[in-house]
Structure 1
Amino acid sequence: MSKIVVFTGESFKGRTADFKNNVRDLEERGFNNVISSLKVIGAPWVAYDDKNFAGKQRVFQEGEYATLEDKGRFSSLKMIIDDLDNPEIQLFEHLHYQGRSVTLRRETNLHDIDFSDTVSSHKVKGGVWVLYEHVNRQGSQLISFPGEEIPSYFPLSFNDELNPMTLMLLMPCSTFELQEI
């Protein structure tokens, strides 16, 4: 069974709670803006800065996270239960799905296909994708789910920010490990 265990202190100390289902508002559970460490068992989870799965996002794979650089910011949690088979994302150079486009079915170094620093919108047909603000999987994350369409990265402060090696695909496997390029 998949779950996330959260702690108010670093190194798995302080108050704790186990969640096996999505939590739209951590304030109702007494854990709003206080999570400092966590453990993920099974499926990956997404932590959001705002309630109702809004605001900045961060994905957590199965494992233990004794210290979080963004501790004390999370207000909602969502387990990734989407079908990870048949991944496909279409990236567009301009807003509202205009300009050059590329369709990807696996994790790709955008620099290798002359598409880094140009993406402004996308459509996800399958799989769960994590897009990063900076190179080497650094900076803010944007997690996109099957059927999701993002016509503009401007409201997300993400426009033209996808650098080489920043598009990651969560793959269907028993431990939900990430595929490396």
Structure 2
Amino acid sequence: MSVYLCVCVSACVSECQCVCVCVCVCCPYTAVNILIDTKVLLTVTVLPPRSKLGSVLQRAFYGSGGCVTLYEQRNFTGRRLAVTSDCPNLAECNFPERCNSVQVESGAWVGYEGENYSGRQFLWDVYEKREYSNYDKWLGTSDHISSVRAVREERSPSKIWLYEKPGFSGRKVELQEDISNLISRFNLNRFASAKVLGGVWVAYQDAHYRGPHYVLEKRDFNNYTEWGATAAYLGSIRRVRFH
């Protein structure tokens, strides 16, 4: 049985880091399962504050898994939704499809313009920053986000093969490090297929990690459409950061 509740939480942020919880009925923003004897008895919403206390509460409720918080308004204001697992439709979580700022608590995440992980994608990871105060920071063109999923960490040494033509043909480039300008390094910016042998990568249409981008997880991509692109052009590529 799933019961949606709003949680008011107080915590001691001293060494004991104990947490006291009182529950009241309310409309949910997001859900956390309460486990008793390994069975889910009810589902509770948690709205963690942006503070040391918030980190304590997130660890208490979410454990060591990934978490990203979406905000309706810029600069981490307005309604918020803490996401700890894949969400194919944000509207079902009573969150508007308007997202103007994001905080990455842990892990790496992809937001999509469309439901069910469709449309243009936007990566949120810990590369250089954990906070995105407006959608320009994640290279968005609008504040429309309809679905979110976690990027699964792949711990083998980072390696990717990029191919000039579909079907793993044409010129081949092997990478094990970030490349901010593919055409200056290899005199080539047309890549139509790829094999990810290790790690997780994000490929950008433009140089210096700009423009539309695509998350490439460990698998073979026979054609650029398989990673979500509409053209076989890449200007830069880097490894996704999880920590």
Q: Extract structure 1 runs of 4+ deviating beyond 6 A.
A: none
Name 1:157's counterpart in structure 2. 230
Superposed, 1:1-181 pairs within 5 Å as 1=64, 2-62=66-126, 63-69=130-136, 70=140, 71-108=142-179, 109-111=181-183, 113-153=185-225, 156-159=229-232, 161-163=233-235, 166-171=236-241, 176=243
Structure 2 residues not aligned, in runs of 5+? 1-63
Distance 2:197 2:119 in 1: 23
- Identical counterparts, % of pairs: 22
CA RMSD in angstroms comes to 2.1
Distance 1:110 1:117 in 2: 6
Distance 2:94 2:213 in 1: 25
Is the 1:84–1:170 contact (alpha carbons within 8 Å) kept by the matching residues of 2? no
The structure-2 alpha-carbon separation of the partners of 1:60 and 1:112, relative to structure 1 and needing over 3 Å to count, comes to same
TM-score normalised by length of structure 1? 0.83
Is the 1:82–1:146 contact (alpha carbons within 8 Å) kept by the matching residues of 2? no
Range with bigger deviation, 133-142 or 97-106? 97-106
Distance 1:9 1:51 in 2: 20
Is the 2:160–2:196 contact (alpha carbons within 8 Å) kept by the matching residues of 1? yes
Is the 1:132–1:142 contact (alpha carbons within 8 Å) kept by the matching residues of 2? yes
Name 2:19's counterpart in structure 1. none
Deviation digits for residues 77-129 of structure 1 (CA, Å, limit 9, x no counterpart): 11223213222211111122221112222223523542532212112122110
Structure 1 residues not aligned, in runs of 5+? 177-181
TM-score normalised by length of structure 2? 0.64
Give the number of equivalent residue pairs.
170
Higher relative contact order (CA 8 A, sep 6+): 1
Range with bigger deviation, 72-81 or 5-14? 72-81
Greater Rg over alpha carbons, structure: 2
Counterpart AA for 2:167:
H
Is the 1:91–1:101 contact (alpha carbons within 8 Å) kept by the matching residues of 2? yes
